[in-house]
Structure 1
Amino acid sequence: MEFIHEPVLLQEVLEWMDVKPDGVYCDGTLGGGGHSGAMLHLSGGTATLYGIDRDMTAIEAATARLREFPGFHALHGNFHDGKALLMAAGAPKLDGVLLDLGVSSPQLDRGERGFSYHEDAPLDMRMDVSQGQTAADLLNSASEQELCRIIRDYGEEKWAARIAQMICEHRAKKPMETTFDLVHAVDAAIPKAVRRKDDGHPARRTFQAIRIAVNDELDPLDKAICDFVDCLKPGGRMLVITFHSLEDRLVKRCFQRLQNPCTCPPKAPICTCGQKPVVKILAHGAVAPTEEEIARNPRARSAKLRVAQKLEVL
Protein backbone atom coordinates (compact mmCIF):
# COMPACT_ATOMS: atom_id res chain seq x y z
CA MET A 1 0.00 0.00 0.00
CA GLU A 2 1.42 3.39 -0.98
CA PHE A 3 0.67 6.12 1.55
CA ILE A 4 -0.14 9.30 -0.37
CA HIS A 5 -2.38 10.96 2.18
CA GLU A 6 -3.52 14.56 2.54
CA PRO A 7 -3.55 15.38 6.26
CA VAL A 8 -6.73 17.09 7.44
CA LEU A 9 -6.81 20.41 9.29
CA LEU A 10 -3.09 20.75 8.60
CA GLN A 11 -2.82 24.54 8.95
CA GLU A 12 -4.96 24.47 12.07
CA VAL A 13 -2.76 21.75 13.60
CA LEU A 14 0.41 23.73 12.88
CA GLU A 15 -1.14 26.89 14.36
CA TRP A 16 -2.42 25.28 17.56
CA MET A 17 0.63 23.05 18.09
CA ASP A 18 2.86 26.14 18.27
CA VAL A 19 5.85 24.24 16.88
CA LYS A 20 9.24 25.29 18.25
CA PRO A 21 12.66 24.63 16.65
CA ASP A 22 13.87 22.77 19.75
CA GLY A 23 10.52 21.20 20.63
CA VAL A 24 9.78 17.54 21.30
CA TYR A 25 6.54 16.18 19.85
CA CYS A 26 4.59 12.98 19.40
CA ASP A 27 2.30 12.08 16.52
CA GLY A 28 0.38 9.21 18.05
CA THR A 29 -1.30 8.28 14.76
CA LEU A 30 1.56 8.63 12.31
CA GLY A 31 -0.05 7.29 9.15
CA GLY A 32 1.91 8.42 6.12
CA GLY A 33 3.61 11.17 8.10
CA GLY A 34 1.76 14.15 6.62
CA HIS A 35 1.22 16.04 9.86
CA SER A 36 4.61 14.96 11.22
CA GLY A 37 6.45 16.08 8.11
CA ALA A 38 4.79 19.49 8.18
CA MET A 39 5.64 19.94 11.86
CA LEU A 40 9.27 18.99 11.28
CA HIS A 41 9.51 21.31 8.28
CA LEU A 42 8.02 24.16 10.32
CA SER A 43 10.62 23.60 13.03
CA GLY A 44 13.37 24.04 10.48
CA GLY A 45 14.12 20.33 10.71
CA THR A 46 15.53 20.64 14.22
CA ALA A 47 12.62 19.41 16.36
CA THR A 48 12.38 15.90 17.76
CA LEU A 49 9.27 13.91 16.84
CA TYR A 50 8.16 10.43 17.88
CA GLY A 51 5.67 8.88 15.46
CA ILE A 52 3.52 5.96 16.63
CA ASP A 53 1.49 3.64 14.40
CA ARG A 54 0.36 0.04 14.67
CA ASP A 55 0.32 -0.38 10.88
CA MET A 56 3.81 -1.42 9.75
CA THR A 57 3.01 -0.28 6.21
CA ALA A 58 2.45 3.22 7.57
CA ILE A 59 5.64 3.06 9.65
CA GLU A 60 7.68 2.07 6.60
CA ALA A 61 6.13 4.75 4.39
CA ALA A 62 6.58 7.51 6.98
CA THR A 63 10.16 6.47 7.75
CA ALA A 64 11.03 6.71 4.06
CA ARG A 65 9.24 10.03 3.71
CA LEU A 66 10.85 11.61 6.78
CA ARG A 67 14.36 10.15 6.51
CA GLU A 68 15.81 13.66 5.99
CA PHE A 69 14.92 14.59 9.58
CA PRO A 70 17.42 13.27 12.15
CA GLY A 71 14.98 13.99 14.98
CA PHE A 72 12.28 11.65 13.66
CA HIS A 73 11.78 8.37 15.54
CA ALA A 74 9.20 5.78 14.43
CA LEU A 75 7.62 3.57 17.10
CA HIS A 76 5.56 0.52 16.14
CA GLY A 77 2.58 0.10 18.43
CA ASN A 78 -0.88 1.29 19.38
CA PHE A 79 -1.29 4.89 20.56
CA HIS A 80 -3.31 3.45 23.44
CA ASP A 81 0.09 2.28 24.72
CA GLY A 82 1.76 5.57 23.81
CA LYS A 83 3.05 6.42 27.28
CA ALA A 84 4.82 3.07 27.61
CA LEU A 85 6.22 3.30 24.08
CA LEU A 86 7.60 6.78 24.73
CA MET A 87 9.14 5.73 28.04
CA ALA A 88 10.77 2.71 26.39
CA ALA A 89 12.21 5.02 23.71
CA GLY A 90 13.67 7.31 26.37
CA ALA A 91 11.58 10.28 25.28
CA PRO A 92 11.68 13.39 27.49
CA LYS A 93 8.59 15.37 28.43
CA LEU A 94 6.79 16.60 25.33
CA ASP A 95 5.84 20.01 23.95
CA GLY A 96 2.91 18.61 22.02
CA VAL A 97 0.93 15.50 21.08
CA LEU A 98 -1.33 14.97 18.07
CA LEU A 99 -3.91 12.22 17.65
CA ASP A 100 -5.74 11.98 14.30
CA LEU A 101 -8.40 9.34 14.88
CA GLY A 102 -9.47 8.93 11.25
CA VAL A 103 -8.61 6.06 8.93
CA SER A 104 -5.96 7.22 6.47
CA SER A 105 -6.97 7.76 2.85
CA PRO A 106 -4.68 5.01 1.52
CA GLN A 107 -6.41 2.49 3.77
CA LEU A 108 -9.78 3.67 2.47
CA ASP A 109 -8.77 3.96 -1.17
CA ARG A 110 -6.94 0.65 -1.42
CA GLY A 111 -9.61 -1.89 -0.63
CA GLU A 112 -7.51 -4.98 0.08
CA ARG A 113 -7.62 -4.39 3.85
CA GLY A 114 -11.42 -4.36 3.91
CA PHE A 115 -11.98 -0.76 5.05
CA SER A 116 -13.75 0.33 1.85
CA TYR A 117 -17.36 -0.41 0.98
CA HIS A 118 -16.64 0.51 -2.66
CA GLU A 119 -14.36 -2.47 -3.38
CA ASP A 120 -14.90 -6.19 -2.83
CA ALA A 121 -12.16 -7.50 -0.55
CA PRO A 122 -11.70 -9.82 2.43
CA LEU A 123 -13.34 -8.50 5.60
CA ASP A 124 -10.23 -7.70 7.62
CA MET A 125 -10.34 -4.06 8.87
CA ARG A 126 -7.43 -4.53 11.30
CA MET A 127 -5.07 -1.57 11.59
CA ASP A 128 -2.37 -4.01 12.68
CA VAL A 129 -2.75 -7.20 10.64
CA SER A 130 -0.68 -9.16 13.17
CA GLN A 131 -3.13 -8.52 15.99
CA GLY A 132 -6.63 -9.60 16.98
CA GLN A 133 -9.75 -10.79 15.24
CA THR A 134 -10.77 -9.70 11.76
CA ALA A 135 -14.07 -8.10 10.81
CA ALA A 136 -15.13 -11.45 9.36
CA ASP A 137 -14.37 -13.16 12.68
CA LEU A 138 -16.53 -10.64 14.51
CA LEU A 139 -19.41 -10.68 12.03
CA ASN A 140 -19.55 -14.49 12.00
CA SER A 141 -19.29 -15.04 15.76
CA ALA A 142 -21.08 -12.19 17.55
CA SER A 143 -24.69 -12.62 18.56
CA GLU A 144 -27.41 -10.65 16.82
CA GLN A 145 -27.84 -8.57 19.99
CA GLU A 146 -24.12 -7.78 20.17
CA LEU A 147 -23.98 -6.83 16.49
CA CYS A 148 -26.97 -4.55 17.00
CA ARG A 149 -25.24 -2.87 19.95
CA ILE A 150 -22.00 -2.36 18.02
CA ILE A 151 -23.71 -0.91 14.94
CA ARG A 152 -26.05 1.26 17.02
CA ASP A 153 -23.46 2.58 19.49
CA TYR A 154 -20.37 2.86 17.30
CA GLY A 155 -22.08 3.72 14.02
CA GLU A 156 -25.04 5.68 15.41
CA GLU A 157 -27.09 3.76 12.85
CA LYS A 158 -30.86 3.85 13.40
CA TRP A 159 -31.34 0.69 11.30
CA ALA A 160 -28.92 -1.28 13.50
CA ALA A 161 -31.43 -3.96 14.53
CA ARG A 162 -32.46 -4.74 10.94
CA ILE A 163 -28.84 -4.74 9.75
CA ALA A 164 -27.81 -7.14 12.53
CA GLN A 165 -30.73 -9.39 11.60
CA MET A 166 -29.72 -9.39 7.91
CA ILE A 167 -26.10 -10.19 8.81
CA CYS A 168 -27.23 -13.19 10.85
CA GLU A 169 -29.55 -14.38 8.07
CA HIS A 170 -26.72 -14.08 5.55
CA ARG A 171 -24.18 -15.96 7.68
CA ALA A 172 -26.70 -18.76 8.35
CA LYS A 173 -26.49 -19.55 4.63
CA LYS A 174 -22.88 -18.56 3.97
CA PRO A 175 -20.18 -17.03 6.20
CA MET A 176 -19.56 -13.30 5.91
CA GLU A 177 -16.26 -13.18 4.02
CA THR A 178 -16.02 -10.04 1.88
CA THR A 179 -16.86 -6.36 2.11
CA PHE A 180 -19.62 -6.79 -0.47
CA ASP A 181 -21.21 -9.48 1.72
CA LEU A 182 -21.58 -6.80 4.38
CA VAL A 183 -22.72 -4.16 1.88
CA HIS A 184 -25.42 -6.52 0.57
CA ALA A 185 -26.64 -7.24 4.11
CA VAL A 186 -26.94 -3.50 4.79
CA ASP A 187 -28.72 -2.94 1.47
CA ALA A 188 -31.21 -5.67 2.35
CA ALA A 189 -31.88 -4.09 5.75
CA ILE A 190 -32.39 -0.44 4.81
CA PRO A 191 -35.50 0.42 2.76
CA LYS A 192 -34.78 1.73 -0.74
CA ALA A 193 -36.62 4.99 -0.10
CA VAL A 194 -34.39 5.69 2.90
CA ARG A 195 -31.21 4.72 1.01
CA ARG A 196 -32.00 7.31 -1.66
CA LYS A 197 -32.35 10.06 0.95
CA ASP A 198 -29.35 9.09 3.05
CA ASP A 199 -26.29 11.33 3.07
CA GLY A 200 -23.51 9.13 1.73
CA HIS A 201 -23.21 5.40 1.19
CA PRO A 202 -25.82 3.39 3.14
CA ALA A 203 -23.10 1.10 4.54
CA ARG A 204 -20.91 3.95 5.77
CA ARG A 205 -22.07 3.89 9.39
CA THR A 206 -21.99 0.09 9.64
CA PHE A 207 -18.43 -0.10 8.27
CA GLN A 208 -17.40 2.60 10.75
CA ALA A 209 -18.95 0.64 13.62
CA ILE A 210 -17.33 -2.68 12.70
CA ARG A 211 -13.94 -1.00 12.19
CA ILE A 212 -14.15 0.64 15.64
CA ALA A 213 -15.08 -2.67 17.27
CA VAL A 214 -12.37 -4.69 15.50
CA ASN A 215 -9.65 -2.20 16.47
CA ASP A 216 -11.03 -1.41 19.94
CA GLU A 217 -10.77 2.28 19.10
CA LEU A 218 -13.01 3.92 21.69
CA ASP A 219 -12.82 2.05 25.00
CA PRO A 220 -9.15 2.92 25.72
CA LEU A 221 -9.32 6.43 24.18
CA ASP A 222 -10.01 8.28 27.44
CA LYS A 223 -7.07 6.61 29.20
CA ALA A 224 -4.79 7.21 26.19
CA ILE A 225 -5.52 10.95 26.24
CA CYS A 226 -4.84 11.13 29.99
CA ASP A 227 -1.60 9.18 29.52
CA PHE A 228 -0.41 11.52 26.77
CA VAL A 229 -1.31 14.58 28.85
CA ASP A 230 0.84 13.08 31.61
CA CYS A 231 3.72 12.95 29.09
CA LEU A 232 3.45 16.69 28.37
CA LYS A 233 5.60 19.30 30.04
CA PRO A 234 3.72 22.30 31.52
CA GLY A 235 2.58 24.42 28.59
CA GLY A 236 2.60 21.43 26.24
CA ARG A 237 -0.41 20.97 24.01
CA MET A 238 -2.73 18.03 23.34
CA LEU A 239 -4.48 18.05 19.95
CA VAL A 240 -7.10 15.47 18.95
CA ILE A 241 -8.82 15.23 15.56
CA THR A 242 -12.06 13.22 15.42
CA PHE A 243 -14.34 12.27 12.55
CA HIS A 244 -17.65 11.34 14.13
CA SER A 245 -19.75 12.63 16.98
CA LEU A 246 -19.18 9.66 19.28
CA GLU A 247 -15.40 10.20 19.30
CA ASP A 248 -15.79 13.96 19.58
CA ARG A 249 -18.03 13.66 22.64
CA LEU A 250 -15.51 11.36 24.33
CA VAL A 251 -12.65 13.79 23.69
CA LYS A 252 -14.73 16.80 24.76
CA ARG A 253 -15.75 15.16 28.04
CA CYS A 254 -12.21 13.98 28.75
CA PHE A 255 -10.82 17.50 28.27
CA GLN A 256 -13.61 18.98 30.41
CA ARG A 257 -12.91 16.51 33.20
CA LEU A 258 -9.17 17.25 33.08
CA GLN A 259 -9.91 20.99 33.18
CA ASN A 260 -12.39 20.68 36.04
CA PRO A 261 -11.64 17.47 37.98
CA CYS A 262 -13.30 18.62 41.21
CA THR A 263 -15.54 15.90 42.65
CA CYS A 264 -17.08 18.00 45.43
CA PRO A 265 -20.87 18.40 45.55
CA PRO A 266 -22.00 21.27 43.28
CA LYS A 267 -23.27 23.33 46.24
CA ALA A 268 -20.18 22.83 48.42
CA PRO A 269 -18.90 26.26 49.59
CA ILE A 270 -15.24 25.31 49.09
CA CYS A 271 -13.36 22.52 47.32
CA THR A 272 -12.24 19.80 49.71
CA CYS A 273 -11.44 16.98 47.25
CA GLY A 274 -8.01 18.39 46.41
CA GLN A 275 -8.33 17.72 42.69
CA LYS A 276 -6.53 20.41 40.67
CA PRO A 277 -7.06 21.32 37.00
CA VAL A 278 -4.60 19.47 34.76
CA VAL A 279 -5.28 21.25 31.47
CA LYS A 280 -6.79 24.41 30.09
CA ILE A 281 -9.01 24.02 27.02
CA LEU A 282 -7.65 26.43 24.41
CA ALA A 283 -10.02 26.15 21.46
CA HIS A 284 -13.53 27.17 22.52
CA GLY A 285 -15.56 24.50 20.80
CA ALA A 286 -14.20 22.26 18.10
CA VAL A 287 -12.11 23.69 15.26
CA ALA A 288 -13.67 22.77 11.91
CA PRO A 289 -12.12 22.66 8.42
CA THR A 290 -12.57 25.58 6.06
CA GLU A 291 -14.92 25.38 3.09
CA GLU A 292 -11.83 25.50 0.87
CA GLU A 293 -10.38 22.40 2.53
CA ILE A 294 -13.69 20.54 2.29
CA ALA A 295 -13.89 21.36 -1.42
CA ARG A 296 -10.33 20.10 -1.91
CA ASN A 297 -10.69 17.06 0.36
CA PRO A 298 -14.33 16.01 0.99
CA ARG A 299 -13.22 13.52 3.67
CA ALA A 300 -12.33 16.48 5.87
CA ARG A 301 -15.99 17.52 6.14
CA SER A 302 -16.66 15.75 9.43
CA ALA A 303 -13.26 16.47 11.02
CA LYS A 304 -13.12 18.33 14.33
CA LEU A 305 -10.04 19.44 16.25
CA ARG A 306 -9.97 19.96 20.02
CA VAL A 307 -7.00 21.48 21.85
CA ALA A 308 -5.93 21.54 25.50
CA GLN A 309 -2.78 22.85 27.21
CA LYS A 310 -1.04 21.18 30.16
CA LEU A 311 -0.99 23.28 33.32
CA GLU A 312 1.64 23.44 36.04
CA VAL A 313 0.09 21.27 38.76
CA LEU A 314 1.41 22.29 42.18
Structure 2
Amino acid sequence: MDVVAGLLDGPRARGAFLLRSHLSAPWGMRVEDESPLTIVPVLRGSGWVGTVGGPGGPVDAPTDAGVLLEAGDVVLLRGPQHYQVADSPTTRPTVVVGPHPEDCRAIDGGPSPMTVFGVRSWGNDPGGETVFVTGTYPLDGAVGRRILRVLPHRVVLRRGDVDPTLVDLLAREVVQDLPGQEAVLDRLLDLLLITCLRTWLDRPDAPGWYRADADPAVGAALRHIHHDPARAWTVDSLAREVGLSRAAFARRFTTLVGEPPMTYLTGWRLDLAADLLLADDDATLASVARQVGYATPFALSAAFKRVRGVSPATHRRRAA
Protein backbone atom coordinates (compact mmCIF):
# COMPACT_ATOMS: atom_id res chain seq x y z
CA MET A 1 0.00 0.00 0.00
CA ASP A 2 1.47 3.37 -0.98
CA VAL A 3 1.24 6.23 1.48
CA VAL A 4 -1.46 8.06 -0.44
CA ALA A 5 -3.67 4.98 -0.74
CA GLY A 6 -3.23 4.32 2.96
CA LEU A 7 -4.13 7.82 4.04
CA LEU A 8 -7.05 8.13 1.63
CA ASP A 9 -8.46 4.83 2.80
CA GLY A 10 -9.98 6.67 5.77
CA PRO A 11 -13.05 8.27 4.15
CA ARG A 12 -15.60 5.50 4.62
CA ALA A 13 -19.12 6.85 4.87
CA ARG A 14 -21.67 4.90 6.89
CA GLY A 15 -25.15 6.34 6.62
CA ALA A 16 -23.89 9.71 5.42
CA PHE A 17 -26.38 12.56 5.27
CA LEU A 18 -27.11 13.73 1.71
CA LEU A 19 -29.52 16.40 0.55
CA ARG A 20 -30.23 18.12 -2.76
CA SER A 21 -31.20 21.80 -2.34
CA HIS A 22 -33.27 23.82 -4.85
CA LEU A 23 -33.21 27.55 -4.18
CA SER A 24 -34.35 30.89 -5.55
CA ALA A 25 -32.81 34.15 -4.35
CA PRO A 26 -32.80 35.50 -1.79
CA TRP A 27 -31.74 32.59 0.38
CA GLY A 28 -29.25 32.06 3.17
CA MET A 29 -28.48 29.25 5.59
CA ARG A 30 -26.20 28.91 8.56
CA VAL A 31 -25.11 25.29 9.07
CA GLU A 32 -24.26 24.21 12.60
CA ASP A 33 -24.14 20.43 12.20
CA GLU A 34 -20.48 20.38 13.39
CA SER A 35 -19.75 17.32 11.25
CA PRO A 36 -16.09 16.45 10.66
CA LEU A 37 -16.30 16.91 6.91
CA THR A 38 -18.85 18.15 4.37
CA ILE A 39 -18.65 18.10 0.57
CA VAL A 40 -20.83 20.38 -1.56
CA PRO A 41 -20.90 20.10 -5.37
CA VAL A 42 -22.80 22.89 -7.16
CA LEU A 43 -25.02 21.51 -9.92
CA ARG A 44 -26.62 24.70 -11.20
CA GLY A 45 -26.51 28.42 -10.50
CA SER A 46 -24.18 29.87 -7.89
CA GLY A 47 -23.80 30.67 -4.21
CA TRP A 48 -21.40 32.04 -1.63
CA VAL A 49 -19.92 30.00 1.21
CA GLY A 50 -18.20 31.53 4.20
CA THR A 51 -16.98 30.19 7.52
CA VAL A 52 -18.56 31.34 10.77
CA GLY A 53 -16.95 31.84 14.16
CA GLY A 54 -18.05 28.48 15.54
CA PRO A 55 -20.29 27.14 18.30
CA GLY A 56 -21.99 29.96 20.17
CA GLY A 57 -21.20 32.62 17.56
CA PRO A 58 -23.77 35.13 16.28
CA VAL A 59 -26.12 33.68 13.69
CA ASP A 60 -25.47 36.33 11.08
CA ALA A 61 -21.75 37.07 11.36
CA PRO A 62 -19.54 35.14 8.92
CA THR A 63 -15.84 35.42 9.75
CA ASP A 64 -14.93 35.99 6.13
CA ALA A 65 -16.56 37.48 3.06
CA GLY A 66 -16.95 34.01 1.58
CA VAL A 67 -16.06 32.63 -1.80
CA LEU A 68 -18.25 32.40 -4.88
CA LEU A 69 -19.13 28.90 -6.08
CA GLU A 70 -20.52 28.32 -9.55
CA ALA A 71 -21.91 25.33 -11.43
CA GLY A 72 -19.30 22.59 -11.59
CA ASP A 73 -17.40 23.76 -8.50
CA VAL A 74 -17.01 21.58 -5.40
CA VAL A 75 -16.14 22.78 -1.89
CA LEU A 76 -14.87 20.72 1.04
CA LEU A 77 -15.64 22.11 4.49
CA ARG A 78 -13.84 20.79 7.55
CA GLY A 79 -15.79 20.82 10.79
CA PRO A 80 -16.73 21.35 13.47
CA GLN A 81 -16.59 25.01 12.44
CA HIS A 82 -19.95 26.40 11.34
CA TYR A 83 -20.41 27.77 7.84
CA GLN A 84 -22.87 29.88 5.92
CA VAL A 85 -24.18 29.52 2.36
CA ALA A 86 -26.20 32.23 0.62
CA ASP A 87 -27.08 33.64 -2.76
CA SER A 88 -24.85 36.69 -2.13
CA PRO A 89 -22.26 37.76 0.45
CA THR A 90 -24.69 40.35 1.80
CA THR A 91 -27.67 38.04 2.31
CA ARG A 92 -28.27 37.21 5.95
CA PRO A 93 -29.27 33.64 6.82
CA THR A 94 -32.94 32.96 7.40
CA VAL A 95 -32.44 29.32 8.39
CA VAL A 96 -30.23 27.55 10.93
CA VAL A 97 -29.48 23.86 10.31
CA GLY A 98 -28.47 21.87 13.40
CA PRO A 99 -26.72 18.54 13.93
CA HIS A 100 -29.80 16.42 13.19
CA PRO A 101 -31.68 16.27 9.86
CA GLU A 102 -34.90 17.40 11.53
CA ASP A 103 -33.14 20.25 13.36
CA CYS A 104 -33.85 23.11 10.96
CA ARG A 105 -35.44 26.31 12.14
CA ALA A 106 -35.96 29.88 11.06
CA ILE A 107 -33.59 32.47 12.52
CA ASP A 108 -36.55 34.28 14.09
CA GLY A 109 -37.69 31.09 15.81
CA GLY A 110 -40.63 30.44 13.51
CA PRO A 111 -41.14 27.53 11.10
CA SER A 112 -38.49 26.90 8.50
CA PRO A 113 -39.10 28.56 5.12
CA MET A 114 -37.68 25.45 3.48
CA THR A 115 -39.97 22.73 2.17
CA VAL A 116 -39.33 19.05 1.48
CA PHE A 117 -39.92 18.33 -2.22
CA GLY A 118 -39.30 14.60 -2.32
CA VAL A 119 -36.59 12.03 -1.63
CA ARG A 120 -33.59 13.87 -0.12
CA SER A 121 -34.71 17.14 -1.73
CA TRP A 122 -35.73 20.44 -0.20
CA GLY A 123 -35.51 24.19 -0.67
CA ASN A 124 -37.65 27.25 -1.20
CA ASP A 125 -38.42 26.62 -4.88
CA PRO A 126 -38.37 23.28 -6.75
CA GLY A 127 -37.56 25.21 -9.94
CA GLY A 128 -34.93 27.41 -8.30
CA GLU A 129 -32.01 28.69 -10.31
CA THR A 130 -29.47 27.28 -7.82
CA VAL A 131 -29.14 23.56 -7.09
CA PHE A 132 -26.44 21.91 -5.01
CA VAL A 133 -25.90 18.66 -3.13
CA THR A 134 -24.68 18.52 0.46
CA GLY A 135 -22.93 15.34 1.60
CA THR A 136 -21.96 15.15 5.27
CA TYR A 137 -19.75 12.63 7.07
CA PRO A 138 -21.25 12.19 10.56
CA LEU A 139 -18.11 10.51 11.98
CA ASP A 140 -14.43 10.82 11.13
CA GLY A 141 -12.66 7.52 10.57
CA ALA A 142 -9.43 7.50 12.56
CA VAL A 143 -7.19 6.98 9.54
CA GLY A 144 -9.09 9.74 7.80
CA ARG A 145 -8.27 11.95 10.78
CA ARG A 146 -4.77 12.32 9.32
CA ILE A 147 -6.38 14.05 6.34
CA LEU A 148 -8.60 16.15 8.59
CA ARG A 149 -5.62 17.35 10.62
CA VAL A 150 -3.95 18.93 7.58
CA LEU A 151 -6.97 19.85 5.46
CA PRO A 152 -7.74 23.59 5.47
CA HIS A 153 -11.14 24.64 6.78
CA ARG A 154 -12.28 25.24 3.20
CA VAL A 155 -10.97 23.76 -0.04
CA VAL A 156 -12.51 25.01 -3.29
CA LEU A 157 -12.14 22.93 -6.45
CA ARG A 158 -13.20 24.61 -9.65
CA ARG A 159 -15.00 23.23 -12.68
CA GLY A 160 -12.64 20.83 -14.41
CA ASP A 161 -10.78 19.88 -11.22
CA VAL A 162 -13.27 17.07 -10.55
CA ASP A 163 -14.78 14.63 -13.04
CA PRO A 164 -18.27 16.01 -13.79
CA THR A 165 -19.54 12.52 -14.57
CA LEU A 166 -19.03 11.53 -10.96
CA VAL A 167 -20.84 14.64 -9.71
CA ASP A 168 -23.73 14.01 -12.09
CA LEU A 169 -24.03 10.40 -10.93
CA LEU A 170 -24.21 11.44 -7.28
CA ALA A 171 -26.77 14.14 -8.14
CA ARG A 172 -29.00 11.59 -9.86
CA GLU A 173 -28.66 8.89 -7.23
CA VAL A 174 -29.30 11.18 -4.25
CA VAL A 175 -32.98 11.52 -5.20
CA GLN A 176 -33.47 7.79 -5.83
CA ASP A 177 -35.04 5.46 -3.28
CA LEU A 178 -34.09 1.97 -4.45
CA PRO A 179 -32.98 -1.15 -2.55
CA GLY A 180 -29.48 -0.65 -1.17
CA GLN A 181 -29.59 3.07 -1.92
CA GLU A 182 -27.84 4.11 1.28
CA ALA A 183 -24.85 1.90 0.45
CA VAL A 184 -24.72 3.27 -3.11
CA LEU A 185 -24.75 6.86 -1.87
CA ASP A 186 -22.09 6.19 0.77
CA ARG A 187 -19.73 4.72 -1.81
CA LEU A 188 -20.36 7.48 -4.34
CA LEU A 189 -19.70 10.10 -1.69
CA ASP A 190 -16.45 8.35 -0.75
CA LEU A 191 -15.36 8.22 -4.38
CA LEU A 192 -16.11 11.89 -4.95
CA LEU A 193 -14.30 12.90 -1.78
CA ILE A 194 -11.21 10.83 -2.58
CA THR A 195 -11.14 12.33 -6.08
CA CYS A 196 -11.28 15.83 -4.57
CA LEU A 197 -8.55 15.01 -2.07
CA ARG A 198 -6.25 13.68 -4.76
CA THR A 199 -6.71 16.91 -6.70
CA TRP A 200 -5.96 18.96 -3.60
CA LEU A 201 -2.88 16.87 -2.80
CA ASP A 202 -1.37 17.84 -6.15
CA ARG A 203 -1.32 21.50 -5.09
CA PRO A 204 1.84 23.19 -3.76
CA ASP A 205 0.40 23.49 -0.24
CA ALA A 206 -0.07 19.71 0.09
CA PRO A 207 1.07 18.21 3.43
CA GLY A 208 4.62 16.97 3.85
CA TRP A 209 3.81 13.26 3.90
CA TYR A 210 2.39 13.54 0.38
CA ARG A 211 5.57 15.07 -1.02
CA ALA A 212 7.60 12.55 0.98
CA ASP A 213 5.99 9.69 -0.91
CA ALA A 214 7.94 10.72 -4.02
CA ASP A 215 11.28 10.52 -2.20
CA PRO A 216 13.01 7.19 -3.02
CA ALA A 217 14.09 6.48 0.55
CA VAL A 218 11.38 8.07 2.70
CA GLY A 219 8.61 6.99 0.33
CA ALA A 220 9.85 3.40 0.54
CA ALA A 221 9.94 3.59 4.34
CA LEU A 222 6.39 4.90 4.45
CA ARG A 223 5.23 2.05 2.24
CA HIS A 224 6.93 -0.47 4.54
CA ILE A 225 5.15 1.04 7.55
CA HIS A 226 1.77 1.07 5.83
CA HIS A 227 2.11 -2.40 4.34
CA ASP A 228 3.26 -4.12 7.54
CA PRO A 229 2.46 -2.04 10.65
CA ALA A 230 2.68 -5.11 12.90
CA ARG A 231 6.38 -5.62 12.19
CA ALA A 232 8.75 -4.60 14.99
CA TRP A 233 10.11 -1.59 13.13
CA THR A 234 12.93 0.52 14.51
CA VAL A 235 14.74 3.48 13.03
CA ASP A 236 17.70 1.15 12.35
CA SER A 237 15.61 -1.49 10.56
CA LEU A 238 13.80 1.08 8.42
CA ALA A 239 17.12 2.73 7.54
CA ARG A 240 18.55 -0.63 6.46
CA GLU A 241 15.50 -1.33 4.29
CA VAL A 242 16.00 1.92 2.34
CA GLY A 243 19.81 1.85 2.22
CA LEU A 244 20.64 4.83 4.43
CA SER A 245 22.51 5.28 7.68
CA ARG A 246 20.39 5.62 10.79
CA ALA A 247 21.21 9.30 11.25
CA ALA A 248 20.73 10.22 7.59
CA PHE A 249 17.42 8.37 7.41
CA ALA A 250 16.02 9.89 10.61
CA ARG A 251 17.01 13.39 9.51
CA ARG A 252 15.58 12.97 6.01
CA PHE A 253 12.34 11.39 7.22
CA THR A 254 11.71 14.10 9.83
CA THR A 255 12.42 16.90 7.35
CA LEU A 256 10.09 15.57 4.66
CA VAL A 257 7.27 14.10 6.76
CA GLY A 258 7.30 16.65 9.57
CA GLU A 259 7.76 14.17 12.45
CA PRO A 260 10.29 11.48 13.42
CA PRO A 261 9.88 7.94 12.06
CA MET A 262 8.80 6.35 15.36
CA THR A 263 6.31 9.13 16.06
CA TYR A 264 4.77 8.60 12.64
CA LEU A 265 4.72 4.81 13.15
CA THR A 266 2.99 5.15 16.51
CA GLY A 267 0.37 7.51 15.12
CA TRP A 268 -0.30 5.23 12.16
CA ARG A 269 -0.66 2.16 14.37
CA LEU A 270 -3.04 3.90 16.76
CA ASP A 271 -5.13 5.32 13.93
CA LEU A 272 -5.45 1.83 12.47
CA ALA A 273 -6.34 0.45 15.89
CA ALA A 274 -9.03 3.09 16.33
CA ASP A 275 -10.56 2.15 12.98
CA LEU A 276 -10.39 -1.58 13.68
CA LEU A 277 -12.14 -1.14 17.02
CA LEU A 278 -15.05 0.57 15.26
CA ALA A 279 -15.17 -1.66 12.18
CA ASP A 280 -15.88 -4.86 14.12
CA ASP A 281 -17.82 -4.85 17.39
CA ASP A 282 -16.54 -8.36 18.12
CA ALA A 283 -12.86 -7.47 17.70
CA THR A 284 -10.99 -7.84 20.98
CA LEU A 285 -8.29 -5.48 22.13
CA ALA A 286 -5.81 -8.36 21.97
CA SER A 287 -6.60 -9.14 18.32
CA VAL A 288 -6.36 -5.47 17.36
CA ALA A 289 -3.07 -5.14 19.24
CA ARG A 290 -1.56 -8.02 17.25
CA GLN A 291 -2.66 -6.49 13.95
CA VAL A 292 -1.05 -3.13 14.62
CA GLY A 293 2.21 -4.20 16.25
CA TYR A 294 1.64 -4.20 20.01
CA ALA A 295 2.69 -7.27 21.98
CA THR A 296 -0.14 -7.07 24.51
CA PRO A 297 -3.54 -5.39 24.80
CA PHE A 298 -2.17 -3.54 27.85
CA ALA A 299 0.61 -2.01 25.75
CA LEU A 300 -1.87 -0.88 23.10
CA SER A 301 -4.26 0.52 25.70
CA ALA A 302 -1.47 2.49 27.41
CA ALA A 303 -0.22 3.95 24.11
CA PHE A 304 -3.76 4.71 22.95
CA LYS A 305 -4.58 6.61 26.11
CA ARG A 306 -1.24 8.45 26.18
CA VAL A 307 -1.49 9.68 22.59
CA ARG A 308 -5.24 10.05 22.10
CA GLY A 309 -6.27 10.97 25.62
CA VAL A 310 -8.91 8.23 26.00
CA SER A 311 -8.87 4.48 26.44
CA PRO A 312 -9.79 2.15 23.55
CA ALA A 313 -12.98 1.23 25.41
CA THR A 314 -14.00 4.88 25.76
CA HIS A 315 -13.21 5.50 22.08
CA ARG A 316 -15.45 2.60 21.06
CA ARG A 317 -18.24 3.64 23.44
CA ARG A 318 -18.27 7.26 22.25
CA ALA A 319 -18.49 6.19 18.62
CA ALA A 320 -21.37 3.84 19.40
Alignment TM-score > 0.5, same fold: no
The TM-score, its normalising length taken from structure 2, stands at 0.27
- Which of the pair is proportionally richer in helix? 1
Give the greater-gyration-radius structure (CA).
Answer: 2
